[in-house]
Amino acid sequence: MTFQEFEATLGAKQPPATLPLLLRALWLERNGQWSGAHDIAQRDEADPLFCWLHAYLHRREGDLGNAGHWYRRAGRTGFAGTEAEEWQALAQAALGKEIV
């Protein structure tokens, strides 16, 4: 799946059943289901990408202290771009294209 193909799924009523967990979480968050995305983020607290997802979700929520904790767990100092840019970077990382 490409990033553009993933983006094209965002208008559907449900995420595609074949989406990997990280992309499913991003799909849910983009479609107003923060709690569902957060539930997925908590599934693997040892994986840096799940920790980054967790950080992003708390950043979106406005809980910057909690976001900072999860950025550190992900081995990151934060994300310098916008929330939209971070969402895209996370999606690309989940697709295995690039980790920003």
Q: What pLDDT does 96 receive? A: 87
Cα–Cα–Cα angle for 11, 17, 18, nearest 5°? Answer: 105
Summarised one tens digit per residue, pLDDT across range 4-20 is 999 999 999 999 999 99
Q: What pLDDT does 53 receive? A: 98
**Residue-wise DSSP of 59-90:** HHHT-HHHHHHHHHHTT-----S-HHHHHHHH
The ranges of the chain with pLDDT < 70 are 97-100
Q: What pLDDT does 97 receive? A: 61
The residues spanned by each domain of the chain are 19-94
Distances (CA, A) of 47 to 7, 17, 66, 69, 76: 24, 22, 17, 14, 13
Q: What pLDDT does 95 receive? A: 93
